[in-house]
Amino acid sequence: MGRRTRKLISGLVMLGVVGGAAFWWLTKPAPWSPSHWEGLGEPDLANGEQVFWAGGCVSCHAKKGAEGDARLVLSGGAPLKSPFGTFHAPNISSDETAGIGTWTLAEFGNAMTRGVGRNGEHLYPSFPYGSYARMTAKDINDLWGFMKTLPKSAEVAPPHELPFPYNMRVALGGWKLLFLTDKPRASVDAGDPKLARGQYLVEGPGHCGECHTPRNALGGFEPDQWLAGAANPEGEGRIPDITPGSKSIGGWSASDIASYLETGFTPEFDSVGGSMVEVQKNMAKLTPADREAIAAYLKAVPAL
């Protein structure tokens, strides 16, 4: 091997090392600074409960078909099928071993809003931290306080069932670099308190876009198709378009939408169905003002 060839190979190796280091630096897990979670005071448990229902924690983390107080046992295990494999919701009860009972507020908050696990690992975006990233530190603190009052469960949720390469968490750093943002999803009048509240609830804890917005081949949102409907990841039918120009709710008034979220009945007196059943149960727990804010936002987003 000639000197020139050795130099070329050495240069390529060095370039690869530098490129790999740069990629790692740009895509490594990025939790908040510890100060982000300091000075929040005692949690407001009443607000924490409202955040809990807005966030839909029960829909994935409680047993399927659970009713009454059993809905508050967050033992996990529910399968979420996707083109990338099947994810299983973890136990997020306050159990110290099977759940998250020994976590700190910072660990919980970083998982919720940054997709960073307790051990510094990337979390899969089947957990909708891409939406929860918009949540305030106060709401996270209040939610965490409320969740610690809920029953413990010693059930251990099954692991995710993901084929290669989707079982490689390191690749999630690149996904976050491309798609994780806390910027608004739609342009509405942020100076209107009702619209601002509705935007926060829909784009943040309510994570409505996670089901109602189509995704590209990498699983990121199609940004110009916000809430325009999407394929059902479980392969049955389609999640409807809920923009003002849609055939599903485009003709509904804001009062119709708010009523639907409270009662589960459409203006035509059909009842809620499919995966929306659990969502509607959660929305019914919110205050009338919050349901009205959600409705106002859904009437204000751009029609497609």
pLDDT in tens, 54-112: 999 999 999 888 888 889 999 998 888 888 999 999 999 999 999 999 999 999 999 99
The Cα 188–Cα 190 span in angstroms is 6
In terms of Cα–Cα distance, which of 71, 88, 70 is closest to 79? 88
pLDDT in tens, 273-293: 888 999 999 999 999 999 999
Would you list the domain boundaries of the chain?
Answer: 32-181, 184-304
pLDDT in tens, 150-171: 999 999 999 999 999 888 888 8
pLDDT in tens, 177-208: 999 999 999 989 889 999 999 999 999 999 99
Single pTM value for the model: 0.90
Given this model, what pLDDT does residue 2 score?
Answer: 59
Q: Which residues of 248-279 are buried (b: 16+ CB within 10 A; e: fewer)?
A: ebeebebebbbbbbbebebeeeeebeeebebb
The Cα 165–Cα 169 span in angstroms is 9
Residues 205-224: what's their mean pLDDT? Answer: 94
Domain 184-304 = CATH 1.20.1640 = no
End-to-end CA distance of the chain: 62
Enter the DSSP assignment of 5.
H
Contact 88, 160 (CB under 8 A): yes
The answer to whether the Cα torsion of 239, 245, 250, 251 is positive or negative is negative
Amino acid at 237: G
